[in-house]
Structure 1
Amino acid sequence: MSARIVFLGPLRDLVGVDDLDVPAPLDWSGLLEAVPPSVADQLKLERVNIACAGRVLSDKTALCAQDGEEVALLPPVSGG
């Protein structure tokens, strides 16, 4: 049983990989432990969002990813 963490944008650059499979179920504390400290620090910031199974979480600390689900780490978007 596993969930997949997908790193996007600058978070991918911090980790050096596109994704990571981790044991499921995956909660907020498990996510912070599964990623490198530099990414965990970013996740704690309000401007970084998390999507689980295709839905952006309004409260990322309520994360509960089940087997086969994807957790996308969404850095802030800039544009012009």
Structure 2
Amino acid sequence: MYFAYILFSPERNKYYIGSCQDIEDRIRKHNTNHNGFTGKTGDWVLKWKEQHLDKASALKREKQIKNWKSRIMIEKLIRA
């Protein structure tokens, strides 16, 4: 199984959209001190996830959400 997911950082007031196979391990990595968008804050929480049968469909969904470029659409998806 693969997942498309959305994380939120209260400190940065930002969302992060990604995809992976092991979601718990991936969130743990996002919350480690590292270079990159999710590094440094360590407060990322899972707000939404969607299960997919294969990597290609999870990546497709991740790209679809990123292409929205709309906080309103992302928050609407999370609430649904």
Band the TM-score falls in, shorter-chain normalisation: 0.3 to 0.5
Larger radius of gyration: 2
Under a length normalisation based on structure 2, what TM-score does the superposition of the two structures give?
0.33
Under a length normalisation based on structure 1, what TM-score does the superposition of the two structures give?
0.33
* Larger RCO, structures 1/2 (Cα 8 Å, 6+ apart): 1
